[in-house]
């Protein structure tokens, strides 16, 4: 698996999720034009999410993508989960040490 497949798979996945979440918050808490911007963010996130699913091989009816994220997705998501768990453990130890001092 090439390095750029890991990069592009995580880029599209995180961009899609972040756009959808930001759009939901903007549409819910915003007013006027902000709600419209939130709706646009949700639509953009959904489109990028569909592109991600297509490259991951989960939307076979759309044809064959020019590159495949199949192996990269699992490896990248596991790497991100490992990084988050490691960061949370370190943060927990840090907070415990600060609270006890």
How many angstroms separate the Cα of 89 from the Cα of each of 36, 75, 95, 99?
39, 21, 10, 15
**What pTM value is reported for the model?**
0.70
Cα angle: 18, vertex 60, 44; to 5 degrees: 25
Encode the chain (101 residues) as per-residue pLDDT tens digits: 677 777 888 888 889 999 999 999 999 988 888 889 999 999 999 999 998 888 887 777 776 776 777 777 777 778 888 888 988 999 999 888 888 86
């Amino acid at each position: 698996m090439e390095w750029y497949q890991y990069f592009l798979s995580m880029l599209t996945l995180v961009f899609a999720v972040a756009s959808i979440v930001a759009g939901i918050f903007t549409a819910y808490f915003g007013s006027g034009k902000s709600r419209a911007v939130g709706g646009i963010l949700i639509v953009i996130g959904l489109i990028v999410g569909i592109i991600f699913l297509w490259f991951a091989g989960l939307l076979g009816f759309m044809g064959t993508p020019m590159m495949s994220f199949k192996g990269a997705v699992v490896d990248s998501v596991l790497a991100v989960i490992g990084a988050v768990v490691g960061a949370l453990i370190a943060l927990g130890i840090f907070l415990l040490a600060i609270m006890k001092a």
